[in-house]
Amino acid sequence: MTSIAVRSEYQMLIGGEFHSASNGATITTINPATGQVLAVFPAATTQDVDRAVASAKAAGRNWSQLAPLARAELVNKLADAIEDNAEEFARLDSAENGSLLREMRRDVAAGVRAMRYFAGLALQMRGTTIPSPSGALTYTVRMPFGVVGRIVPFNHPFMFAAGKISAPLIAGNTVVIKPSEYTSLSALRLAELATDILPAGVLNVITGWGAEAGDALVTHPDVPRLAFTGSVATGLLIQRRAAETTVKTVTLELGGKNPLVIFPDASLDDAVDAAVRGMNFTWQGQSCGSLSRNIVHVDVYDEFVERLTAKVSALKPGLPDDDNSQTGAIINERQLEKVLDYVQLGISEGARLCTGGTRITDGELAAGLFVRPAVFSDVHVDSRLAQEEIFGPVLSVLRFHTEEEAIAMANATQYGLTASVFTENLGTAHRFAHQVEAGYVWINDVSRHIPGTPYGGVKNSGLGREEELDELLSYTQVKNVHIEHSSAATI
Ligand code: NAD
């Protein structure tokens, strides 16, 4: 791999200073594409999390009093500093999570875009005036919560670290963020840039294991607002644990098993291209929005499967910094085993493995965690292969006969994050968009996120919407103020 600015050791940012864990514990991070050790960083203890929350709470007194535009200016300044170091962030992410370097460059740009977007919305945190009796004035103002706890996953480390601290900060909260234990370096490097720009304690970055550092943040009584991005299982646990200490507002961006429905009137070329793009093989399928269930009309099913198989077989796994690579490495051994287990499960459930699904054990990729992208056909809607999020490069193709059946199949999982339909028929498209149980729907497109559009799920895919104004407002609480100013009023 090209040399990158990875140091051998990183520290956490607590109260404007860099710290090891209170007990000295560390986590070793490994490049999944090569198996090489990259660096060590702290495994925070409950005591470290307590200190981070206390620093954030203390810093909140001044930060919340700053004018919103002053906060926006500082967030924009941080975005400038990130842009000056963009290549380093992309390389840290790619080295740590095994995704293609060119995709991680896009992630850095997306993180910066999110920061500037929320900075630009700073003056939109408006209240209202409520018609009141003569002599009175009633209005609302939006107040920050205080300390926001932010927990993010491994698949877009920097984009989430940068993008998801922005709305809470602009809204006047201070933040304690915990990145994934598999991909913490870019968040720690972001912390280093932030110390020159943000007042001490406004942003704290703690690293460590979910069950210890994450749980300490979730259950901390001085963290009234939590936002989590990750798996359904962890999201459910966080909801339960959060409720055990104090009343907290919790929003959840969770997993998906998202449907792409292809009607027979759609261009098959476009549909096959979309199926490959929509599965996000560029991130080895490790994306919450991946359209991992293709639900295809019986009239075009066989041809679709044949063309899809040819296209997916031709995808070239490779080292993340090689411009010719089309898909990278799986995040860790556990996830690799999970992917391979699901391939065996699919076969045992009677689905047909059309291509891929095996680990690459020869050549330069043998030292890393690479799996050939897989396509299964003849997948039954009730099978575990069709029901469970694999979060890997395994695409299932299901067959439908009627529009009603297609929509029922699309909705037949616990998830409801994204969905897509390919058809030339306006009526079919609208009925699908209306009836599908998903937070984000594409018609004749996949994967595209236009900035400022709400992202989030229904059912077990989550609670709340992000990436637009509602995300910013979700970090505020409405306070009503009634003023009695009639001459009769006495104080
Ligand atoms: P994960 O749930 O295993 O971990 C996510 C984060 O939660 C990590 O930082 C982890 O340390 C922390 N965590 C784990 N246990 C915890 C606990 N008990 N208390 C507090 N924190 C804890 O998820 P992952 O494997 O890192 O990421 C993959 C999952 O994330 C997939 O399900 C994917 O669909 C989902 N995801 C959702 C979105 C979205 O926007 N909806 C985006 C990206 C990823």
pLDDT in tens, 268-279: 999 999 999 999
Quote the pLDDT of residue 240: 98
Residue length of the chain: 491
Alpha-carbon distance of 32 to 176, in angstroms, equals: 27
* pLDDT classification of 2: cutoffs 50, 70, 90: very low
Q: Considering the candidates 103, 288, 354, 471, report the single residue annotated as catalytic.
A: 288
Residue whose tokens read 């499960």: 345
Tell me which amino acid residue 392 is.
G
Tell me, yes or no, if 253 is annotated catalytic.
yes
Residue 1 reports pLDDT greater than 50: no
The ranges assigned to domains in the chain are 12-254+457-478, 259-443
Q: Tell me, using a 6 A CB cutoff, whether residue 230 lines ligand 1.
A: yes
Q: Tell me, using a 6 A CB cutoff, whether residue 279 lines ligand 1.
A: no
Poorest-confidence range of 14-18, 148-152, 283-287, 482-486? Answer: 482-486
CB atoms within 10 A of CB 363: 9
Give which of 69, 17, 24 is closest to 44, Cα–Cα.
Answer: 24
Mean pLDDT of 342-365: 98
Residue 70 reports pLDDT greater than 60: yes
- What would be the CATH architecture of the domain defined by 12-254+457-478? 3-Layer(aba) Sandwich (3.40)
Q: What is the dihedral of CA 448, 450, 456, 457, to 10 degrees?
A: -40
The rounded Å distance from CA 229 to ligand 1 centre is 5
Mean pLDDT of 464-479: 98
* pLDDT classification of 488: cutoffs 50, 70, 90: low
Alpha-carbon distance of 435 to 388, in angstroms, equals: 21
pLDDT digits (tens, 9 = 90+) for 224-250: 999 999 999 999 999 999 999 999 999
The rounded Å distance from CA 281 to ligand 1 centre is 19
Fold match, 12-254+457-478 / 259-443? no
Q: What is the chain's alpha carbon radius of gyration, rounded to the nearest angstrom?
A: 24
Q: Is the dihedral of CA 289, 292, 297, 302 positive or negative?
A: positive
Alpha-carbon distance of 395 to 397, in angstroms, equals: 7
The rounded Å distance from CA 99 to ligand 1 centre is 17
Alpha-carbon distance of 280 to 262, in angstroms, equals: 18
Alpha-carbon distance of 318 to 322, in angstroms, equals: 7
* pLDDT classification of 475: cutoffs 50, 70, 90: very high
The rounded Å distance from CA 119 to ligand 1 centre is 26
The percentage of residues in the chain with a pLDDT greater than 70, rounded to a whole number, is 98
3-class DSSP string for the chain: CCCCCCCCECCEEECCEEECCCCCCEEEEECCCCCCEEEEEECCCHHHHHHHHHHHHHHHHHHCCCCHHHHHHHHHHHHHHHHHCHHHHHHHHHHHHCCCHHHHHHHHHHHHHHHHHHHHCHHHCCCCEECCCCCEEEEEEEEECCEEEEECCCCCHHHHHHHHHHHHHHCCCEEEEECCCCCCHHHHHHHHHHHCCCCCCCEEECCCCHHHHHHHHHCCCCCCEEEEECCHHHHHHHHHHHCCCCCCEEEEECCCCCEEEECCCCCHHHHHHHHHHHCCHHHCCCCCCCCCEEEEECCCHHHHHHHHHHHHHCCCECCCCCCCCCECCCCCHHHHHHHHHHHHHHHHCCCEEEECCCECCCHHHCCCCCECCEEEECCCCCCHHHHCCCCCCEEEEEEECCHHHHHHHHCCCCCCCEEEEECCCHHHHHHHHHHCCCCEEEECCCCCCCCCCCECCCHHHEECCECCHHHHHHCEEEEEEEEECCCCCCC
CB-based contacts of 49: which residues, under 8 Å, 6+ apart? 176, 206, 213, 216, 217, 220
Mean pLDDT of 430-435: 98
Structure tokens at 140: 């609302």
How many C-alpha atoms does 283 have within 13 Å on its Cβ side? Answer: 25
Q: Considering the candidates 96, 181, 212, 253, report the single residue annotated as catalytic.
A: 253
Q: Tell me, using a 6 A CB cutoff, whether residue 218 lines ligand 1.
A: yes
Domain 259-443 has CATH 3.40.309.10: yes
pLDDT digits (tens, 9 = 90+) for 43-65: 999 999 999 999 999 999 999 99
Backbone angles phi, psi at 12, to 5 degrees: -90, 155
β-bridge pairing 147-151 and 136-144: unpaired
Structure tokens at 261: 């429905």
C-beta of residue 428 within 8 angstroms of C-beta of residue 269: no
Quote the pLDDT of residue 3: 52
Residue 363 reports pLDDT greater than 60: yes
Mean pLDDT of 117-139: 96
Mean pLDDT of 424-428: 98
Mean pLDDT of 296-319: 98
Quote the pLDDT of residue 451: 81
Give which of 486, 479, 475 is closest to 165, Cα–Cα.
Answer: 475
From 176, 186, 288, 417, mutation site for ligand 1 pocket: most ligand atoms within 8 A of C-beta: 288
Give which of 398, 316, 326 is closest to 363, Cα–Cα.
Answer: 316
Tell me whether residue 28 is exposed, middle or buried, using C-beta atoms within 10 angstroms of its C-beta: 0 to 12, 13 to 18, 19 or more.
exposed
pLDDT digits (tens, 9 = 90+) for 170-220: 999 999 999 999 999 999 999 999 999 999 999 999 999 999 999 999 999
